[in-house]
Structure 1
Amino acid sequence: MTDYTVSCHILNSNKGLPLSDISCELYLITDKNNIKIAQQKTNKDGRVPKESWEFVEDHKITHTNTYMIRFQIKSSYYDLINEDTLYPYIDIPFIIKNSTVHHYHIPLLLNNFGYTTYRGS
């Protein structure tokens, strides 16, 4: 089995600043339900490095499947700075496939009423 790694980061695109202390949850998506496999808060650079995830019950990312990162932006950020947002959280699903790529980086560029994401490196 191949081990895959995932990292992410969040940037407030209105202010051009990284967002620290944002709760992020990593899920395995199945036909029956979503299984939370890891969690972590972003660091001072707005990142969750691949080695910093706190995995639940010895879960690892060892096979191809659909995964998702849930960014808890309202409770972790907008409520604290007393600003409105359209999104209570943002879910970004992605597919890990068997390939020569073993690391997946998921960036989130965020403002109060919009966001974008892409495949990072």
Structure 2
Amino acid sequence: MSVDPITCHILDTTQGKPASNVICQIFYISELHDVNYESDVTVEVLPKPFGMNRTDADGRIKNWILDPKLNTTELESLGATKASSSTGKINWTTLKPGIYRVKFFTGAYFRVLKDPQRTFFPFVEITFAVDNPPDNHYHIPLLLSNHSYTTYRGS
């Protein structure tokens, strides 16, 4: 099974194991040249998430469920295509440069634990730049506890 150009992984450091069943969304914010680095005001190209999924038992999202309402132009700008009009399946094969965001619904995750711990972060949003990707793949790991988180450019 191939993976999408952007994947993610959540490790719950309070439990010492992967965080499964966490809802995540992915957004395409803008092209790189549209970013104003002097302020945080940017016009989002796709203000709604273009994909979402839940982490698997290993805390990973390898493939996103892309929004079937995306038009051909939006799909092409993301590097995705519809496999066929009859199935409606969308394949995301090419990573396009730009600013992306992954939103992790961490509050809901902590709320459903058997012994729920309060969390300081109801959501974790990681915004990152993809610039001329050499390997056509970016991995976003999230090390999560109820009062802190860490992330980095994964491999």
TM norm structure 1: 0.87
Q: Deviations over 1:49-107 (max 9, x none)?
A: 1xx210113436332110000000111x1111221000010000111111322100000
Give the Cα–Cα distance (whole angstroms) in 2 for the partners of residues 16 and 9 of structure 1: 14
- Supply the RMSD in Å over aligned alpha carbons: 1.6
Structure possessing the higher radius of gyration over alpha carbons: 2
Question: How many residues end up aligned between the 2 structures?
Answer: 115
C-alpha contact (below 8 Å) 2:18/2:59 kept by paired residues: yes
Say whether 1:66 aligns with 2:79.
no
Q: Give identity over the alignment, percent.
A: 33
AA at the equivalent of 1:78: F
Deviation for aligned residue 1:35: 3.3
Which residue does the alignment assign to 1:102?
136
AA at the equivalent of 1:112: N
C-alpha contact (below 8 Å) 1:86/1:112 kept by paired residues: yes
Which residue does the alignment assign to 2:25?
25
TM norm structure 2: 0.69
Q: Which stretches of structure 1, 4 residues or longer, exceed 4 Å deviation after superposition?
A: none
Say whether 1:78 aligns with 2:110.
yes
Is there any run of 5+ residues in structure 1 with no aligned partner, and where? none
Deviates more, 1:85-94 or 1:34-43: 34-43
Is there any run of 5+ residues in structure 2 with no aligned partner, and where? 31-41, 80-95
C-alpha contact (below 8 Å) 1:24/1:42 kept by paired residues: yes
